[in-house]
Structure 1
Amino acid sequence: MQNIQIEEDEIDLSQLFSTLKKNFFTIVFITLFITSLVVVYSYFLPPIYSSDVKISFSNEEKSSMSSLIPNALADFTATTEKKLETVKLTLETRKFINSVIKELDINQRYFIEHNYRKDELYAFDNLEVSLNIHDDNFKEKYDGTLYDKLFTIKPIDKKHFLLSVDAMEYNRTCSYNKLVSNAYFSIKVIKKSYLEDTNYYISQSNPQLLADHILENMKTTILSDNVLQITYTDTVAKRAKEIVQEIANQFREFTLVKKTSELKKRLIFINGQIGIIENQLQGEGKNLKEYQKKHKTFFTIETNNKMILEKLAEKKEMIETLKLQLKELNDFQKSFKKGNLNTVSLLNNGINISSIEPLIERFHAIDIELEDMRIQAKNIEKSLTKRPQLEQLIQRLHKEKDTLEELNFNFTPTHPQVVKTNNTIIEIENDIRSYIQTDLNRLRKSKSSIKTKIIANINTTKKSIEHKLNIFKHDIQNENALMQTLPEKSLTVQELKRKFTLSENIYTFLLQKKMETQMSLASVIENTQIIESAREGLKPIKPNKKLIVIVGFITSLILAIFYVFLKSMLDTKIRNEANIKELTDAPLYGSLPNKKHKRFFEEAMRVIRTNLQFIIPKDKQCISILVSSTVPGEGKTTVIANLAHIIAQSNQKRVLIMDLDLRKPRLYQELNKSNKLGMTQYLTGDFELESCIQEVNEHLDFFPAGAIPPNPSELLMSEKFDKTIKKLFLTYDYILFDTSPIGSIIDAKILLPYSDIVLLVVRANVAEKGFIEHFNNLRKETEIQSSGIILNDVKHDKSSSYGYGYGYGYGV
């Protein structure tokens, strides 16, 4: 059994090589054709250049005055992966990219024709082109847009060029250095030097789509906890460098402005207050001088009165401080309701915020979590938060999407497994969104609760300050009553001095705060640094044309081989001897070329005759051979006529060939004999047997079918037919039966008991493989003694020897 399996494997391998050899030129043609297309395709592919910058984010503010910078303003000091994800989203917004576009002149693209290909340039070396498009006017008359359409400049001579716009069928001869203008566009071409005799092209990008185009070609990658790489690809190396460098510069400026904006707002407020207090201080000083000069009150007050006045001044100053604190608390409440949680002013005015500091920190933390969850909601495929349940859902989503990608590669979108996977992905995405929404609701609820607590604590602080304010006011009333005993002029002088001193103290306080703010502003350093600037790419990163051609060649070769094998697998026709070997264990006695190749046809017939000698019973007086086919038109009549001639000539035996295809007799035509009197007349009439048989030559006789009967099967099953056959067995050495096709009519099966050998004629490139299966079933059902196949109409090959080497199974 093992040897048989090895033999079958060898036969299969041989069949594979045979298929490849037979279709060699088809494989070569398909491979070369597809490879040629790939070569042409790769030739026209534009080169893609890449440029990148690396940005680092410092974790701490390294400033000698860092203690003066409010924590609430350090928006960009954290450089965790979560913060870098936020930076990535910022970089990938159209608003930010539009700020980059404003700084660059990249709305025009330049091409030059070279070897049937349009090569893009950063700018023309010998031309300066200014193009403006009036797209609204263009849309009113034409379909589509004039943006991104090519304007062709074809030099004519030293002073003129041909301007063509295919989008509007515009062709006009124009002069260099002169403006060409119409309702749809205006263009000015300035010639700077000698022009090549080729086409120059220019187009203007749609400003509304330019940001999207940049975003499509930009990629941001997190290299580490504090380093971000921005990569930009473009068909022009210099433009790629300029765009990615400007993106880095703009973001660097953006972070710096973000950090200093709050300090600048504070400085503006302090400067305004200084101006007010300065005017107030000048007025009070002037009033004090004029009163003293007018009333000549340059005297001192007794020690006791002086102490009272000093206490009174201190309390009034405290009242002003408390009022300022109340104002700051009210302002904080108003700004807090608007979402601003700046506690700088509270701290600077000496307000104790220890009771709300933990709440404010928690409020900030919830704000960050909310922002993270909003970002997560926009990008549900990437885990941006440290939530195990959410990470598990996202991992499941990735796994299902990977599964879907594999299914889409093997199945159609309507396949049940694909539909099921799609539904699973939708469910997971809905679970993720539901989880995110639930978390958002929870955070918003916590934020609202904390906000309520902060407001309640602020109200409590305000009540405490108001209580102190009332106490000081009551004390001042008592001290004022006490001071009524002082001389009126002295009291007035002290009051003016008190006001002046109070204003002077406030002015000094504001100057101090201004200095602190200015020092804070001056000490702000950039936490965004460009650690590696963009460089112009010297070689394109893609396409790898050599690799494309190699892959194209290999792919086309695989496709060609796949096509050949697929064609062979789906081929239901019998093409050659190998097909028959695969389908049956019945012997193949020979292969016949087309009858037009007479010499090769006769040689093949002799080989078939020789092969039949091995299975002819030696002890029988008459050998009967039935020749049939599975369907009409396979050449059985031609084969049986020529086989009868060969047997008669070679063996010098008496041979009778009988046309028993009573339904459609054709053998008489092949032998050039008459069909007027034959088997039908003999079986249904009173004709003598000898009168129905015609002589073909000395050793070969012919028994025609005769007229077509209405009941051919009944005639062949009749007792007279049985006796006739037995009688003829005693007269002839060989009898050959030409029957109806064995696959469709029962007539041939009736003759099987009279046949020593059954030959099935199979026509190459016509017969179906299923016919052989039918023949196999017939062999099992009827237990035919000896049977075999003759392959007819095989393609002629001078190097072939028809009929040789097919004697396996003889004598079985």
Structure 2
Amino acid sequence: MEKDIFKILLNYLRYWYLFLISSIICLVGAYFYVRYNVTPEYYASGKILLNDKEEGEGLQSFSNLGLIKNSKNINDEIGVLASYDLMLKTVKELEYDVSYYVKGRFSEIELYDKSVPFKVVINDSMPILKYGTLGTVSIIDEFTFQIETFADEESVSKATYNFGEQLSTEFGKFRIDLISDKFKTQDPIFVRFRNINNIASVYNNKVRISNVYESGGGLLRISLTDPIPDRAVDVINKLIEVYAKSSAENKNFLAQSTLKLIDERLDLLTGELNVAEKDVETYKQRNDLINVESDASRFVSLADEVERELAELRSEINTINALENSLIQSSDQSFSPISSYNINSSVLAGSILAYNTEVQRRKNLISASGIGNPMLPELDRQLIESKNLILQNVRNIKAQLLRTQSELASKSSQYRSKISSVPTAERALLEINRDQGIKQSLYLYLLQKREEEALSISVPFSDTRIIETPQATSYPVSGAKTPIYMGALIFGLFIPFVWVFLKDKLNTKILEKEDIEAITNTPILGKIPSSMEKDVVVVTGHKASAVAELFRLMRHNLKFLSQGKNNQVIMVTSGKPGEGKTFVSINIGASLAITGKKVVVLGFDLRLPKLMKNMNLDYEYGLSDFIVDSKKSVDDLIVPYEKEKNLFFIGSGPIPPNPGELMLHERVGELLEDLKDKFDYVIIDTPPIGKVADAYSLNPYIDSTLFVVRFNYTKKEELNVINEITENKRLKQPMIVFNDVKMEKSGVYSYGYGKPV
């Protein structure tokens, strides 16, 4: 396994220059991308607590006073915090409609207000008329500054002004105030006017408000990302401040409306209570009653209860009548808040709350942009519709109350008929006292509620508490340089890696020994390195080259793989021409000859003979002559090799018209038997068995077969022929020779192209 990993790594390291070039290109690209396109953004967040229930004592207890309860739905409050109108108020108070920039090396750099030595103050009564770049502001001294404007690429105008001076430009009216004395080394600053509505929309989309705990609760996290961390913190702080202020204003507005209603009811009840007390006094004097003990029966108690309910019902009817009269008398163009008058109807209360919220929104719009705001007509139409719906709801409630009153009056009449036995004077006094008690109880109740409402207004209490002060990270969460450079480096290494991987996977040719072993179980006799020598015979007695040594190694392997069997006749073949079978035949014979063995090499490729041509040997008769002419003897064919006394060759002779049939001639067997008697080894160079079947006819006479495979030339699918030979035993003792292996300086074999032999 370790060798496999080493070979895989070595295969990739051969292309180290591609990895280096690709990494450099990607890193350079990342540098320019970061320089011109990436703006780092920082993350800021804080935590607030709404409707804090843990502080049960002190000021918090006043939050539940009065007729109006301050309990809030957290999801609704999240919606309020995330609303566009609240963010618009926030950026207006932060005065983000003016931005400042300085010129950097490659692009403009935005300055935050705190780092600018001056401040542009826009006239509140005059809105911005145009958005864009005013120009550059250069501070001359502590009293004056210069504005340089650019009408176009060539037209430049300069003007000098005093700090605090009112300026009237095409952008609007404003002044510039000096707020810091650190301006001597300040570069010219670009001043831009921006649309405050667009800025509010941008920040409203960027701010995130969520519950800290999945189970809900009032603990909320407010987060924001921005290129300037201090600005992100300021936006969150100001948003919390504006929310708390708006919430308090809304609470006080509703409480004041309720106080007004209570005062009106108290004035009315005071008069009614005085009349009831006077009636008691007059009745006692007239009837000479001092101590009247009530012995009213159960029916009296029931009657009292019904009368008490009727009194409360009358109060509710009076209240609903007051609200109805208020709505009828108000004109369509009168958009003032509506008090709920403590009417026990959640639907009506919800409608009134929604109407009052829209009225407050209309008031804010008029305060911000005047009555000419294009949103006002649509908002007025919606308010009129809401008021009509509220009036209809009030009338429905009134009808229901009247029906209930009628039912209670009927019950009261029934009970009164049951108590006829009670003395008239006593019964009359009881009724007078009961009426007085009901009015007194209602008066005390309203007086208590008025005091509670007054306390809820006067107490400086806020139901929004900052739990975690907003802070920004010291490192960017997006647009950071290090991840981009790391990504570019990884991508730069990945590209050549993929190229080498695909190159290896998509290559259909034999590239290494493992490719052969993956396809066939046929034993590999050896590997032959690529030879740069001009002489086709690379194995001689005096040479110690790598090629010669590997042929000697193959000679030993040949004896080992034969396992003691007779291996005198060796056939050398291949799948197709050009794989080097002739080269292998010659040098296998030479490696055997230098050991003192007598060896003959036969050129049995009768279709495309190369043996004698490659050896540069002349001969008179060849194999085809011997086969067709019975007068020719074996000695007529043998050609000695002058450089090696034990090495001999036999040429193929003239190319016959029927080489396949000629290979089946009985003279072939006679020839090989005769050569076996005269030589220790007979090497047969045959035609490729992947193209023609000539070599199969020699199988009865051979002892082993060498199948030559060449790097980057033999295709993987072409090795199926050797599998077929092995499985069907069509040739004896097949072995594979891997040809054209290159040796690097390190001594490790690699593979490359070689010239066909």
Determine the structure 2 residue equivalent to 1:746. 693
Q: How far does residue 790 in structure 1 lie from its aligned partner after superposition?
A: 1.9
What's the TM-score once normalised by structure 2's chain length? 0.61
Is the contact made by 1:658 and 1:735 (CA closer than 8 Å) also made in structure 2?
Answer: no
Give secondary structure in 2 for the equivalent of 1:780: helix
Equivalent of 2:572, from 595, 618, 627?
627
For 2:615, the aligned partner's letter is L
Contact persistence 1:605–1:642 (CA under 8 A):
yes
Cα contact 1:626–1:759 (8 A) shared by 2: yes
Task: Give the Å deviation of 1:244.
Answer: 0.9
What's the CA shift for 1:242? 0.9
Match of 1:648 in 2: 593
User: Among residues 640, 655, 658, which one is paired with 2:603 in the alignment?
Assistant: 658
What amino acid does structure 2 have at the position aligned with 1:88?
I
Distance 1:716 1:183 in 2: 105
Q: Deviations over 1:746-771 (max 9, x none)?
A: 23333333321211222123333444
Deviations 1:331-388 (A, max 9, x none): 6689999xxx9995366xxxxxxxxx6xx469999999xxxxxxxxxxxxxxxxxxxx
Any gaps of 5 or more consecutive residues in structure 2? Answer: 123-128, 270-281, 288-309, 329-336, 354-392, 414-442, 539-544, 751-757
- Against the structure 1 CA distance between its residues 801 and 25, is the aligned structure 2 distance closer, same or farther, given a 3 Å change threshold? closer
Tell me the residue number matched to 1:593.
529
1:768 and 2:715 correspond: yes
Partners of 2:699 and 2:732 within 8 A in 1: no
Q: Secondary structure at the match of 2:690?
A: coil
Alignment correspondent of 2:423: none
- Structure 2 CA distance for partners of 1:321 and 1:365, relative to 1, 3 Å: closer
Q: How does 1:601-640 map to 2 (within 5 A)?
A: 601-615=547-561, 623-640=568-585
Q: Is 2:457 the partner of 1:521?
A: yes
Q: What is the aligned-residue RMSD (CA, Å)?
A: 6.0
CA contact (8 A) 2:82 2:207 kept: no
**Aligned partners of 2:253 and 2:658: how far apart in 1?**
111
d(CA) in 2 for partners of 1:651, 1:551 = 66
Q: What is the CA–CA distance in structure 1 between the aligned matches of 2:323 and 2:160, rounded to whole Å?
A: 63
Q: How does 1:91-240 map to 2 (within 5 A)?
A: 91-106=81-96, 120-123=110-113, 125=115, 175=158, 193=183, 207-208=197-198, 211-223=201-213, 225-240=217-232
- Judged with a 3 Å threshold, the aligned counterparts in structure 2 of structure 1 residues 127 and 367 are, in CA distance, closer, same or farther, namely closer
- Give the conservation status (yes or no) of the 8 Å contact 2:167–2:174: yes
Q: Which residue of 2 aligns with 1:69?
A: 66
| Residue aligned with 2:747, SS | coil
Task: Give the Cα–Cα distance (whole angstroms) in 1 for the partners of residues 342 and 686 of structure 2.
Answer: 116
Q: Distance in 2 between matches of 1:263 and 1:335?
A: 18
Summarize deviations over 1:537-590 as a string: whole Å, max 9, x none.
555566776677678878987998787667656654433345445555444333
Q: Is the CA contact (8 Å cut-off) linking 1:110 and 1:124 kept in structure 2?
A: no
* Mapping for residues 676-691 of structure 1, pairs under 5 Å: 678-680=622-624, 683=627, 688=632
SS at match of 1:795: strand
Count of aligned pairs: 600
Return the offset for 1:739.
Answer: 2.2
Instruction: Write the mapping of 1:488-503 to structure 2, written as runs, cut at 5 A.
Output: none
- CA, structure 1 residues 123+682, in 2 after alignment: closer, same or farther (shift >3 Å)? farther
Change (3 A) 1:701 1:539: closer
Tell me how far apart the structure 1 counterparts of residues 657 and 325 of structure 2 sit (CA, whole Å). 113
Partner of 1:477: none
When residues 236 and 687 of structure 1 are mapped into structure 2, their CA distance, relative to the original with a 3 A threshold, is farther
Who is 1:345 aligned against? Answer: 341
In 2, distance between residues paired with 1:54 and 1:619? 90
Unmatched runs of 5 consecutive residues or more in structure 1: 1-11, 139-145, 278-302, 309-318, 348-356, 369-449, 471-506, 804-812
**Contact 2:208/2:223 (8 A) holds in 1:** yes
Which letter maps to 1:757?
Answer: S
Distance 1:613 1:274, change over 3 A: closer
1:181 Cα offset (Å) = 13
Q: Does 1:328 align with 2:319?
A: yes
Q: 1:204 deviation in Å?
A: 5.6
For the 8 Å contact 2:601–2:685, the answer to whether it is kept is no
Identity of aligned residues (%): 23
Q: Which residue of 1 aligns with 2:614?
A: 670
Using the alignment, how far apart are the partners of 1:753 and 1:795 within structure 2? Answer: 36
Contact 1:675 1:705 survives alignment (8 Å) = no
Q: Could you say which residue in structure 2 is the equivalent of 1:460?
A: 403
1:77 maps to a residue whose letter is S
| Conservation of the 8 A alpha-carbon contact between 2:89 and 2:242 | yes
Closer/same/farther in 2, CA of residues 101 and 776 from structure 1, 3 Å limit? same
After the TM superposition, which residues 27-106 of structure 1 pair with which residues of structure 2 at under 5 Å, given as runs?
A: 30=19, 34=23, 37=26, 40=30, 46-59=39-52, 62=59, 69-70=66-67, 73-74=68-69, 76-78=70-72, 83-106=73-96
User: Quick one: distance in 2 between partners of 1:118 and 1:335?
Assistant: 60
Q: What does the per-residue CA deviation read over 1:520-546, in whole Å, with 9 as the maximum and x for residues that have no partner?
A: 533583222234433465555667766
Relative to the length of structure 1, the TM-score reads: 0.57
In the alignment, is residue 19 of structure 1 matched against residue 8 of structure 2? Answer: yes
Structure 1 residue 782 displacement after superposition: 0.8
SS at match of 2:526: strand
Q: Is the contact made by 1:659 and 1:738 (CA closer than 8 Å) also made in structure 2?
A: yes
Per-residue displacement from partner, 1:433-483 (whole Å, max 9, x unpaired)? xxxxxxxxxxxxxxxxx9999677424135469999x9xxxxxxxxxxxxx
SS in 2 for 1:534: strand
Question: Could you give the per-residue CA deviations for residues 10-54 of structure 1, whole angstroms, max 9, x where no partner exists?
Answer: xx3321122213433546963895498469569655444333332
Distance 1:737 1:515 in 2: 123
Shift of 1:595: 1.9
Instruction: Give the whole-Å Cα distance in 1 for the aligned partners of 2:622 and 2:21.
Output: 61
Q: Aligned partners of 2:92 and 2:486: how far apart in 1? A: 43
Q: Which moved more, 1:99-108 or 1:562-571?
A: 562-571
Q: Counterparts of 1:201 and 1:739 in 2: how far apart (Å)?
A: 90
The structure in which a higher percent of residues are helix is: 1
What is the deviation of 1:243?
Answer: 0.9
Contact 1:593–1:600, Cα closer than 8 Å, also in 2: yes
Shift, 1:596, TM fit: 0.6
Q: Is the 8 A contact 2:585 2:601 kept in 1?
A: no
Deviation at 1:259, TM superposition (A): 2.5
The residue type equivalent to 1:748 in the other structure is A
CA 1:758–1:126 in structure 2 vs 1: closer, same or farther (change >3 Å)? same
8 Å CA contact 1:160–1:174 kept in 2: the answer is: no
Say yes or no: does 1:251 pair with 2:243. yes
How far apart, in 2, do the equivalents of 1:695 and 1:154 lie?
A: 102
AA paired with 2:699? L
Cα pair 2:150 2:157 within 8 Å, conserved: no
Q: 1:235 to 1:602 in 2, by over 3 A?
A: same
Give the SS at the match of 2:688: coil
Contact 1:717–1:750, Cα closer than 8 Å, also in 2: yes
Name the aligned partner's letter for residue 227 of structure 2: T
Distance 1:154 1:625 in 2: 97
Which structure 2 residues correspond to residues 317-716 of structure 1 after superposition, within 5 A?
326=317, 328-330=319-321, 345=341, 360=345, 457-461=400-404, 463=406, 518-523=454-459, 525-535=461-471, 538=474, 540=476, 572-581=508-517, 583-596=519-532, 599-615=545-561, 623-660=568-605, 662-673=606-617, 678-680=622-624, 683=627, 688=632, 694-697=639-642, 698-706=645-653, 708=655, 711-716=658-663
Residue type at the aligned position of 2:547: F
Q: 2:234 aligns with which of 242, 245, 256?
A: 242
Partner AA of 1:458 in structure 2: L
Q: SS of the counterpart of 1:751?
A: helix
